[in-house]
Chains A and B, each alone.
Chain A
Amino acid sequence: MKELFTMTNVRFIFAGLKTTLYISVVSILLSTLFGTILGVLRSLTSGIFKLAAAVYIEVVRNIPNLLWIYVVFVVFKLKSIEAGVVSFTIFTSAALGEIVRGGLNSVGVGQWEAARSQGFSNIQVLQYVILPQALRNMIPAIVSQFVTVIKDTSFLWSVVAIQELTGKVTILMGRYYQVSQVFVLYLILALVYFVINYVISHFSRKLQEKLTY
């Protein structure tokens, strides 16, 4: 087993982890921005923007993320880490847009009216009354979506051979042929994803508890 844990191998896997985290973090940041815009637009009472946001959200989120990855890489022939970011941002923006819509929806209209009657301006209502409550309701779903992005970046190796975490470990598996070695590599691979995602999920539960009053 010692031969697995050489400095070269550890560095090799670490480089993959860096790519995975880079693609995930940039996609998550961009998707949060676009998803919030989409969700707010869809919560408007009417108009062309509401319709456009609704069509985008429904079409994109009801088609697998994997297909969007193929669309970016195969149909548009973009083959880079940036293209990976684009393919995840397309899908995750729609998924987050729907979560934001649901979150805003979960705060009753009465709250809005009550705050307005107390002399709050529209922006103030949003800032002090609606958003804090909506955010608290949305956190579990949002974080679950973030975790999904990190997990789904594992597709990038199979689709376009981007050497992220899964790619690097799969390459290593090709160099070892003993059952125990291959199984330990699977275990390491699963464990790295597990630790990252478990920490994120745990943190989100703590955050939600803190926001509950």
Chain B
Amino acid sequence: MFSSSGPFAWFKWQALFADWQIFAQGFGYTLFVAISGLALALVIGIIIGISSSSYVKPLKLIARGYVEFFQNTPLLIQVFFLYNGLPFVGIVLSVTVIGIIGVGMYHGAYIAEVVRSGIGSIAKGQMEAAYSQGFTYWQAMTYIILPQAKTVILPPLTMQAVNLIKNTSVLAVISGADIMFTAKSWSSYNVYYGPAYVVAGLLYFILCFPLANLAKRLEDKANAMPTEAKNKKGPGMTTQDLTVGSS
């Protein structure tokens, strides 16, 4: 395998290290799309998540529709629609913008569910108490409910950040200059696939592993909460319910 003709031959590694800047650029690009996408996903997730917990019927319906649509259809098709579909009606977006909107809207739906479950974990009495003190709905949300829901929300939210980073790799399919595409195009040009994919994997791993670990530690902390705090959660619910594996 590592022999002079194998897929992981030493001279192939040397070729890769000589071009390290190309991979560094791909890494930077993935990081940029991931951070911008996460910012968008957070905004969408909080708005849609609070809307699905609201008692205003039309608002709730729209929020539910958004979540169900984006969670139950492939990200790739959403991205294809932005990339191949929209130009039919004269809307041409850059690949970077498509990446940010794509992962932002997709993971916005997942984060909305995390936020909704977090809000659901706080006892109803808290909201009523806040109302009785003259808080408006949004004030009560911002100052009373969300700060308390934080413990329940944070572990699955961190996991969503990990999944978002991994899903930026969808850009490789529409030639997006990210880590995945860099590995693919660099190695299709010189057929040194072995080292290219190992390095690409490593770059994703150093982004995702620390975050996934953090999520696990936050979850252990949340699970170790005193029973009284635990009882505030919905029936039979643990943070595990919210920690969606890998979407």
Contacts and interface: CB of A to CB of B under 8 A. Distances in A.
Nearest to A153: B74
Contacts of A96: 245
Given A67-B180, A98-B245, A155-B76, A186 B197 contact: no
A141 B244 contact: yes
Contacts, number: 148
Interface in B40-71: 68-69, 71
Interface in A167-187: 170, 173, 179, 182-183, 186
Interface stretch (A78-86, A121-129, A144-152): A144-152
Contact of A145 (B69, B71, B170, B245): B245
B246 A95 contact: yes
Contact of B170 (A66, A71, A102, A190): A66
Give the dominant DSSP class at A's interface. Answer: helix
B162 A194 contact: no
Given A61-B212, A62-B208, A148-B246, A141 B240 contact: yes
B240 A138 contact: yes
A158 interface: yes
Given A103-B240, A179-B88, A212-B235, A66 B245 contact: no
Contact of B167 (A64, A95, A197, A201): A64
A75 to B, nearest CB: 5
Interface in B210-247: 212, 219, 223, 235-236, 238, 240-247
B107 interface: no
Given A106-B240, A141-B240, A147-B72, A63 B201 contact: yes
Contact of A137 (B84, B193, B204, B238): B238
Interface string A48-84: 0000000000110111111100110011000000000
Contacts of B85: 182-183, 186
Given A75-B7, A138-B240, A182-B88, A147 B71 contact: yes
Given A71-B197, A141-B245, A145-B245, A64 B166 contact: yes
Contact of B77 (A58, A103, A193): A193
Contact of B238 (A106, A142, A212): A106
A166 interface: yes
A198 B89 CA distance: 29
A19 interface: no
Q: Which of B84, B235, B245 has the most CB of A within 10 A?
A: B245
Interface residues of B, number: 50
Count class of interface residues, chain A: 35 or more
Given A74-B193, A141-B241, A186 B246 contact: no
Q: Which of B75, B88, B187 has the most CB of A within 10 A?
A: B88
Nearest to A211: B236
Interface of A: 58-59, 61-67, 70-71, 74-75, 91, 95-96, 98-99, 102-103, 105-106, 136-138, 140-142, 144-145, 147-148, 151-152, 154-155, 158-159, 166, 170, 173, 179, 182-183, 186, 189-190, 193-194, 197-198, 201, 212
Interface of B: 7, 68-69, 71-77, 80-81, 84-85, 88-89, 162, 166-167, 169-170, 172-173, 180, 183-184, 187, 193-194, 197, 200-201, 204-205, 208-209, 212, 219, 223, 235-236, 238, 240-247
14 contacts: A58-B209, A62-B208, A70-B183, A71-B197, A95-B245, A137-B238, A141-B241, A141-B243, A145-B245, A147-B72, A151-B72, A183-B85, A190-B77, A197-B72
